[in-house]
Each structure stands twice: as C-alpha cells, then as structure tokens.
Amino acid sequence: MVAAFFRKYPILGFILRRALSMIPILLITVFFFFFFMSLAPGDFYSAYYENPEIDTAVIDYYRDEFGLNKPFYVQYFMWIKKVIVDRDLGMSFSYRQPITSLIASRLGNTIALNFFSLIFSYIFAYPLAFYFAYKPSRRLEQAVNFSTLVLYSVPSFFLALLGLLIAAATGLFPLSGATGADHESLSFLGRFADRLHHMILPILIGFVGGLAGSLRSMKVLLQEEFYKPYITAVTARGIRGPGVVLHAFRNTLIPFITDMSGLLAGLISGSLFTEIIFGYPGIGRLMYEATLRQDYYLVLTNMIMSNILVLGGILISDLLLAIADPRVRIK
C-alpha cells in the first residue's frame, strides 16, 4: 500500500528519500567534527587552569560535566544520546545557556538581514541584466561592468567598515545593535521603526555586495541566451520586446535554480563581517565568538544548521528544476 502511494505521488517519495539520506550525512559530519576537535590543543576550560584563583577541582567538574575529559567517540555518542533522548542540543560553555535559546534569540535577526539583502539584490539585478543583455549600450555597459567589478572585488568587511564610517560621520544610522536602549518602552509601531532603523544600513551593505555579483553573472548568462538559435526563430516570427524576454526567462532560471543550494545556507552565514563590525546580535557574530572560545557544541550546532540548509537547498533546487525544465523528471 505504501509503495502504491509513492508510485501515485512520486514527488513525496523523492522528498522522503532525500530527507532520510540527510540523516547519515549529518551523523558522519558530526563524527568528524568531534574527531577534528579532539586534535585541537586544549578546550574551553583549559585556559582556566592557568588562573591560580580558580580551584582546579571546579574546572575538572565542569570538564567532566560536558565530557571533555573523555575520548572523542564517547563525546560523540553522548551528544547523539542527548539529542535523541533529551531532545537537547546541549549547553553553551561560555554563555551557560541552552544552545536552542541562544540560537532562537538571534536566528530571526540574521535571517531577516540576509533575506532582505538577497531579495533586493535579485529584484534589481534581474531587470537590469535583462535590459543590458537585450538592449546593449556599449558606453553604459562599460560603466556598469567597471562599477560592478569594483564592488565585486571589494571585500565585504571593507564595505561594512565603510558603512560604519558613514554612520559615524552622518549620524543618520545607529552604530551598533539591532534595537535602541529604549526599545521595550516604545509602542508597537515605535519598536518596528526602531528595528528597521537599525537594519537599514546592514541590509544596504549586503544589497550592494550581492548586487554586483548577481548582475555580472546574470548579464553573462542572458547575453549567451539571446544569441541562441531559438531566440532568432522567435524574432523571425515577429515577436519583439517582452515576448522575447519571456521566452528567454525560463531558460535563464535554470542556472539560478541549480545555485540555490547555497542560497539557504547564506541566510545564516552571509552577513558575518557586517554582524561583527556593527555589533549586530546575529548567528554569524555568535558563531565567530563561539569559535574563538572553543565553545564546541555551539559551533557544532551552527555546522549542523548549515548542512541542513545546504541539503534542503539542493532538494528545493531539484524540485524547482523539474518544474522549470520539462526534460527533468522526478523518479
């Protein structure tokens, strides 16, 4: 009966098989994480042994509590048991808080920041790329190519520093944080405006950096598409302007869809330097600090989230590819 159901709905069977295949991938990834962490010298509590004011018995207690004095494979199975039985990702060494609450308090900030940066980049990049590909203007195209090349070559941390200097010089934008000091005392609309005010400049930095790369890659793909024989056939039938663009649109979506696997992961990792420089309470800044402090379980959680988003992005891109390209079939 189950087999008949999946034969009737092959897409559901495809999704289920992909979801089940993620489990061994994640388990193997976590195993190697514990293995490589065991090769690193010391751990989060090792530095406390050098402090004469801290009793070594207290340090030993905490190391034993987290299993840091055990072999890596024992730590691995302890963590698996904790996740499956207790449904708990563990405790952060440095924050002494459950990792789930730490992630939950910052995840929305990072997703909102990267989502709007990404959306605005594509909203502007796609129409501009279509325009330059369909109606090329040599002088204007050279100016755009030069501008996007410069922006594409500039490191993201430089853009963030430049944005910080602009905020400090003009006073138009906050220098740090996601909310103001009086955020909780404001009305609903006031809290919304306060959060938006803190997000505008970080979003603008992500938008400028993303627009350059998106516009350059899309323009090249579209220029190649408009020189293909089927476009010549379309124009020979008297179709002009939007009609030609519409014919080319579906084929230009295919490379974009195949790259979607990295877009979801970019929602939690695409604003690392912006979050650090602006003191923005997001996942990127949290994981950067966790890595410096050797806060293993917090770093592990970030790695698992990234893997899930990459695998989920591959699944979504495969499904969308089957919708966009009739030649692709889900079996």
CATH classification at residue 279: 1.10.3720.10
- Please say whether the beta carbons of 79 and 72 come within 8 A: no
> Are 188 and 265 in a shared domain?
yes
Last residue of a domain, one of 57, 85, 113: 85
Q: Return the pLDDT at 260.
A: 64
Q: Flag whether 3 is in a domain.
A: no
Six token digits for residue 109:
């900030």
HSE at residue 264, side-chain half, CA atoms within 13 A, is: 17
Last residue of a domain, one of 31, 52, 85: 85
Q: Flag whether 2 is in a domain.
A: no
Structural domain boundaries, residue 296 = 105-324
Structural domain total, the chain: 2
> Are 27 and 110 in a shared domain?
no
The pLDDT averaged over each successive group of 10 residues in the chain (331 residues) is: 63 77 86 83 76 79 79 86 80 82 84 84 78 69 76 78 84 80 79 84 83 76 75 75 70 70 68 82 84 82 81 78 65 56
Q: What share of the chain is helix, strand, coil (3-state, %, to 5)?
A: 75, 0, 20
Distances (CA, A) of 279 to 87, 176, 267: 31, 5, 18
Q: Return the pLDDT at 253.
A: 72
Q: Flag whether 99 is in a domain.
A: no
Q: Flag whether 6 is in a domain.
A: no
- Please say whether the beta carbons of 115 and 202 come within 8 A: no
Q: Return the pLDDT at 265.
A: 67
Residues facing residue 98 across a β-bridge: 91
User: Would you put residue 152 in left (φ > 0), alpha (ψ -120 to 50) or beta?
Assistant: alpha
HSE at residue 81, side-chain half, CA atoms within 13 A, is: 7
> Are 114 and 245 in a shared domain?
yes
Q: CA 275, CA 278: separation in Å to the nearest integer?
A: 5
